[in-house]
Structure 1
Amino acid sequence: MRSVNTAYKLGREIGRDVGDIWLPDEVLRRQVRRVIGPKINLFKSDEDKALEAGTGLLICTAVLSVFALAVTVLLLLPNSYLETAKPLLTVRTSLESMLGGTPRLLVFGITAALVLITIMFAIAAVVARKRAAEAYSEAVSALYAAGFQGAMSVLEVRRRKTGMVVETTGRREFLPPSPRPLGVDARGAEEVVAQWMRHLGEADAELTSVTGDGGIDVTGSRSFAQVKHYAKAVGVAPLRELAGVAANDPRGRQPLFFTRTGYARGAVDFANAAGIALYVYDVERGGLEAMNARAKTLVQNGIA
């Protein structure tokens, strides 16, 4: 695999196969890496090619430097030592014959130059290796990111269709609202939401006044909510209004949104970006569903 488009498509397949559509992002990232990682087979980058060329030059100069150093050492050895090692004396005699009248200082200078060049190529090889590793890491990261985006694009659609059902428990301080088979009016829906908020941890959740509430229907010390008893999906406008209230809230409370139907795609995207928790309530059955990741987190950890 080399293309981010291929990684994105594979990520979408992963998103379709995921069992728990509300699994944490980090778990999904690990799953994407586990699937995509073995399939990665990148072309050689320019940095890789530069590294190969530099390594080849380094090897050549290193071999020449070793040879030149051996010659230099042999020429510098004292005759008294060479007389005890006749093979070395024979080699030096041959070298001197080959060099003819070449000054030894020139030989030593060439050796020093080769050593310096080898050191320079070694430094360049280290730099090239680092750049090649960085280029490879960036390319792999781009593939992983594309795969994650593909998986999330599918999961977001699945999450919009089916929220996470909030399981009630007697261990919480406040009980959830009871089913109301006959339904409720808009004010009754706000009462139901206030009960849900208390069950989720907002112990002092209370309804606001009917008028002059600034778009807020239920308020508490750590969160506040807007409730829409609509018969159709909620669009972006009410969420934008709630986000404006949250941005100017001096206590920095968590904004929540409750409706009995669902949310348009653009509304969910906006809520995710604005940090608004989305819920769908069912007064007839006494149920509640978390419709985005922020809402699920509050369900799991409590409103805090």
Structure 2
Amino acid sequence: MSAESTLLLQTFWSWVCGLLAVGLLGVLLPIVLGLLVGVLPLAIVRRDWRPLAAVATGVPLAVVGGVWALFGVHVGAPRQDFWVGLSVQLGLLVAGGSTVAFLRLSIRRIKEYRVAMRAVLHADTEELVEVDGDFPAPGPRKRLTGIEAEYYIAEWMRHLGATDAIVTPARADGGIDVRSRFYAAQVKHRPMDFVEVETVRALIGAALLENRTPLFFASGHYSRHVYDAAARGGVALFIFKPLEGRLVAANATASRLRQDGLRAPVAMTR
């Protein structure tokens, strides 16, 4: 390879590294930091730090990747201080916009959570207490972690009538991810997997101990034996499709609840 070709190649990779550094330090890192700031109030209200910890892992990845890219800037491209300055200026704009956007989302989630908690405070009374607040069906979600899927299903349960549905703290879930006064739900967000019958049987046992009706929400599929176990144990099987914002009944019990809503089971209200 000639000296001219080598210089051209070095120039090309210097520009690639510079732009990559700006993308990581000036775009990705500010978005992650904005998400951390935006999610913090919601984590405090929920007392659930798992989403915060998951987001925080993106900070060192963006920093290490951005610094590594800066060291790849050599000849034929602006110096490293140029890319650093550009990253800082762009990062301030991105961080401001992302923080505002995520804070607005958190405030909306906090309002919904507080309305649900008001219903929880009355969960031990003999009759359900009506609470103020509208619970629309959750819209489509492009990305859901396993943790956020639990909150997504809690929104669906509140929309269907279980207005006191809340996510169970991880250290005390007892195999139940979302609880309301009358229902116990487990959530599996693994779109490519099949839910096995042992998992459903464990939910039946956990719900029976708490005298709640078992609900199972999966983003994947149910194995053949699950349907028999669910019919015997009175489990409502749902399939949720976050990309489409849809909740589909997978058996007759779920179909009835999807149509009638998550009202108090007759046996529990007598």
* TM-score interval, smaller chain: 0.3 to 0.5
Bigger Rg, which one: 1
- Scaled by the length of structure 1, the TM-score of the pair is 0.42
